Amino acid sequence: MKHLMPKLPYSLGALAPTISEETLEYHYGKHLKTYVDNLNKLIAGTLYEDMDLAEIVCKASGAVFNNAAQAWNHEFYFAALSPVAKTISPKLGSLIVKSFGSLQDFKEKLLGSATALFGAGWTWLVAQDDGTLAIVNETNAGNPMTRGLRPMLTIDVWEHAYYIDYRNRRADYLKAIWELIDWDVVEQRLSDDECNVYI
């Protein structure tokens, strides 16, 4: 199966000035496209050829894993950003409070974890087996599905995600991108079977 570029639910300029059109031209149009193109080349004629992306992420290693996970992670990241401000619903909010103590504690823990991640990687909000939420960091192409955790939200902290707009100021990028998170999409992922097929 040939993997295709995911469609963005907004135009390349829609998240500016928080995320500029130039950043998305590179991040979506070049970085993500390279991962998708590399994946298609790597899986041709292999046992991964007919698997969907999540299955490859859960079963592959090495270069196939790296390119598949980067493709999956970026689609998941871009899909939960919105040019329209969203609020956390009472249902998701009460789960966050149960898991982290308060919404403010959750925000500080999520952004603090992303700020502290050394080098390239992703900060994730995940649902655990007991139904509570947790925050985990993954380096490079890491994806928590491979550890049996259900992804709810991810924040890309590779430098290519923010260097055009924020240079080395990762904390400023994180503070700004918090305002773009589409909490409706995050909440839908609580009941989205697609995330749970291979874990």
Q: Which amino acid is at 18?
A: T
Nearer to Mn ion, 115 or 128 (CB): 115
- Contact between 182 and Mn ion per CB under 5 A: no
Pairing relationship of beta strands 133-139 and 121-127 according to DSSP bridges: antiparallel
Q: Which of residues 51-110 bind Mn ion (CB under 5 A)?
A: none
Phi, psi of 60 (to 5 degrees): -90, 170
Strands 133-139, 150-156: pairing kind:
unpaired
Distance from the Cα of residue 88 to its chain's centroid: 18
Q: Which residue is nearest to Mn ion (CB)?
A: 156
How many residues touch Mn ion (CB under 5 A)? 3
Candidate ranges 15-23, 36-44, 127-135, 155-163; the one touching Mn ion (CB under 5 A): 155-163
What tokens were used for 46?
A: 């292999």
- Using CB under 5 A, which of 100, 158, 166, 173 touches Mn ion? 158
Task: Output 138 or 156, the one with its CB closest to Mn ion.
Answer: 156
d(CA 119, CA 139): 7
From candidates 75, 156, 182, 187, binder to Mn ion by CB under 5 A: 156
**Strand runs (DSSP E) across the chain, as ranges?**
121-127, 133-139, 150-156
Stretch in the footprint of Mn ion (CB under 5 A) among 4-12, 41-49, 111-119, 154-162: 154-162
Rounded to a whole number of angstroms, the minimum distance from the CB of residue 121 to Mn ion is 10
Write out the residues near Mn ion by the rule CB under 5 A.
156, 158, 161
